[in-house]
Structure 1
């Protein structure tokens, strides 16, 4: 019988219909190497394949569902069928190492790159800061078109060979803007109550599911807190996610924080986001992924063994050392 205390980084983990060989995940980290048209390049092929050995899962950096929603001018995209072949050149060599790979679907909303954004949009006409400028409030027809962008991106994700999808609902980007009461002042079906503020995410996930079917793994990345009174907190967010879990719209939650406002956490220590992940885990049955300076095997094993989270994602160490995952999965430190 497997108990929580017997779990470790080595223990396989099931996300939806997929079993990961271990609980170490490569977090999505921007490469700033996409072409001006949003195509993945040779850099991406080498970068991800080099880091695929032994890790449980790779999540590719934010991949734009709209040419008007890139987070940076050199984002990669999945907003046309022409992007599919370039992305498949990433997934094939990763699969050759028996490693699953997910794509992170994103739209910047009011934080889309000004250099390549034709029309800045958001749930409400509230700017992030002076650098990005004032967004236009989305109409209902524009919301429907955006949801369809995600649906088509899901279709292309399958064609590109991705094994699952992470929906980027964190770091102040479009879906996070809908979720937070600080950036969503709408009084229609997509605002007002926590249920209304969740509707855009719910409709987006349902649209993605219409393409992928129930057995295709879908993760949602969230920001657990806006680091200010009146913003999102982990308890409220967990209750907003619970109906999505009940409806089979998500298979795991990846817990980050911040990004809605130009506010930084005051204390960024190892595991600084872990308490929020633990709160969210108390309310959900799907796996919860912790991230935030969890860089040692012993720390990761304690988190998983104590039931604070089900998996650990790492980012920056893998940028600096492509063999970091092998060292972390190896002998206990």
Structure 2
């Protein structure tokens, strides 16, 4: 049977009207205290008309883990009602919305971060500076931040959660051997490096239960020898598959290295390589900006859903034209 981007899909028990996902992209419109504004309500509400799912931009679980001074957060109770206005605007179009929970770790914004933290005291670059290696007590504190953020996500009306484990942020830093030099149970082999993610995921599940959809966004490759690869991601995520409802496959961001060639569908082979090992849906992203490319990826079973970012950011009607 031929599958197209217009076909319905199921994600963690949630029925999607089509297979087009609005990827999480920053608006840089949050307040200094990480509150969303009327811009966010209008922006997401306008784009909810056509897509099957919206994943909200990176939303900080901690005041010490914000990615930019103008991002948004979900680290205090006061954030809930402003976020609820966004989910209400999206739900008015009968479209579900997930929140992307994030912590920047060593890539947290120096402008709004008290002290950088990371699995190991290894800097990303001179701009960010050298982070402090997390103690085990510090790790427990961040896990608690994820748990509380998950509870607030439900209260704010989100239909699911995407755990941000990509683009060089804190969870990615724990997972990659290039940034995790720990010698305790949170470092070393695949099991040790994935322990932080596992504990964060289980803390989230403690609040939302098993029937609430939870995705993970990953960077399939670190674009550097010794870093993460699709094969290593299979080893990291396979033991956690029973607790996940989907995998959103991006790439890069751990180091100041960019891919040599960014062409249409350049990340699709990574999604395909990971998909063959999992029963849960895989979301492909990365310049899949035409209907023919999106449909080909679905027809060839290289991915289950297609996420698009920049074109939807620039044009609120992009999704409608692609689906037409």
Hey, what's the Cα distance between the residues in 2 that align with 1:329 and 1:204? 36
Per the TM alignment, residue 220 of structure 1 is displaced from its structure 2 partner at its CA by 0.2
What does 1:73-112 correspond to in 2, within 5 Å? 73-112=69-108
Per-residue deviation, residues 222-248 of structure 1 (Å, max 9, x unmatched): 000000110000111122111100xx2
Hey, what's the Cα distance between the residues in 2 that align with 1:122 and 1:302? 40
For 1:309, the equivalent position in structure 2 comes to 303
Per the normalisation by structure 1, the TM-score is 0.97
| Superposed CA RMSD | 0.6
**In structure 1, the residue corresponding to 2:217 is in which secondary structure?**
strand
What does 1:243-262 correspond to in 2, within 5 Å? 243-245=239-241, 248-262=242-256
For 2:116, the equivalent position in structure 1 comes to 120
For 2:315, the equivalent position in structure 1 comes to 321
Hey, what's the Cα distance between the residues in 1 that align with 2:300 and 2:220? 20
Hey, what's the Cα distance between the residues in 2 that align with 1:125 and 1:53? 45
> Is residue 61 of structure 2 the alignment partner of residue 62 of structure 1?
no
**In structure 2, the residue corresponding to 1:88 is in which secondary structure?**
helix
Pick aligned residue for 1:266 from 260, 268, 278: 260
- How many residues end up aligned between the 2 structures? 324
Per-residue deviation, residues 117-161 of structure 1 (Å, max 9, x unmatched): 001000000000010000000000110110010000000000000
Hey, what's the Cα distance between the residues in 2 that align with 1:74 and 1:236? 34
Per the TM alignment, residue 293 of structure 1 is displaced from its structure 2 partner at its CA by 0.4
Contact 1:239 1:283 in 2 (8 A): no
> Is residue 32 of structure 2 the alignment partner of residue 25 of structure 1?
no
Per the TM alignment, residue 196 of structure 1 is displaced from its structure 2 partner at its CA by 0.6
**Once superposed, which parts of structure 1, at least 4 consecutive aligned residues long, lie more than 3 Å away?**
none
Per-residue deviation, residues 58-78 of structure 1 (Å, max 9, x unmatched): 000000000000000111000
For 2:198, the equivalent position in structure 1 comes to 202
Hey, what's the Cα distance between the residues in 2 that align with 1:238 and 1:26? 25
Pick aligned residue for 2:31 from 18, 35, 44: 35
Per the TM alignment, residue 54 of structure 1 is displaced from its structure 2 partner at its CA by 1.8
Per the TM alignment, residue 19 of structure 1 is displaced from its structure 2 partner at its CA by 1.3
Pick aligned residue for 1:11 from 3, 7, 16: 7
